[in-house]
Amino acid sequence: MSYHQNRSIVIRNAIINSLFIIWCLVWRTGLGLTFFIIYASLGYIYNWPFYLPISIILGFIPWGWKVQEERRIREEEQKMRNLKNQIGDGFIYARAESNVEINYRAVIFLKSVLGLFISGCWGIILGWKAIWNMILQLVDNIRTVVKYM
């Protein structure tokens, strides 16, 4: 592959990745604002107590999903690194993991509601870190495009 073909592929991938990051920033923030506005307006109409804190938590749910996704990816990478370190130059073996879940309607409903609030709390606590990492990646992509232009 020639230098010019490789350069055009790098530029194209950086532009596509930048557009995707911008889309994710706008989408997650817009979805969170939608959750916030809907619940806050319902609380205002019906005069529910604690509607503002709950709507703030619900507004951070999309960023909480992102934080949980990054955490899951880090845990899987750590498991793979640990497995590679254990194997070393040794032999390959198989490993299976299983999860047992109880699937009653009430349990599923409570899990989903609690999951939303947990995601919202993760978004409040660590959402800034996910946003900052995406912005750093966007700046790095822009530098890559400028460097190869």
Taking the CA atoms of the chain, what radius of gyration do you get in angstroms?
A: 21
The reported pLDDT for the residue numbered 92 is 62
pLDDT digits (tens, 9 = 90+) for 35-56: 999 888 887 777 777 788 888 9
Neighbours of 119 (CB within 10 A): 22
Q: What is the pLDDT of residue 126?
A: 93
Other beta carbons within 10 angstroms of residue 48's beta carbon come to 14
The pLDDT of residue 88 is 67
CA distance 57 to 120: 5
Report the domain count for the chain: 1
pLDDT for position 28: 94
Residue 19: the pLDDT is 93
Helix axis angle, 105-148 to 61-87, nearest 10°: 80
Q: Which residues of the chain fall short of a pLDDT of 70?
A: 1, 3, 88-95
CA distances from 9 to 25, 83, 131, 134, 144 (A): 24, 34, 26, 21, 12
Estimate to the nearest angstrom the gap between the alpha carbon of 11 and the chain centroid: 25
Return the pLDDT at 90: 64
pTM score, two decimals?
0.78
DSSP state for residue 89 in the 8-state scheme: T
Contact predicate 28/19, CB 8 Å: no
Residue 123: its pLDDT value, please?
Answer: 94
Token code pair at residue 51: 């509607």
The range of the structural domain enclosing residue 85 comes to: 3-148
> How many Å apart are CA 141 and CA 16, to the nearest integer?
9
Give the whole-angstrom CA distance, residue 127 versus residue 98: 30
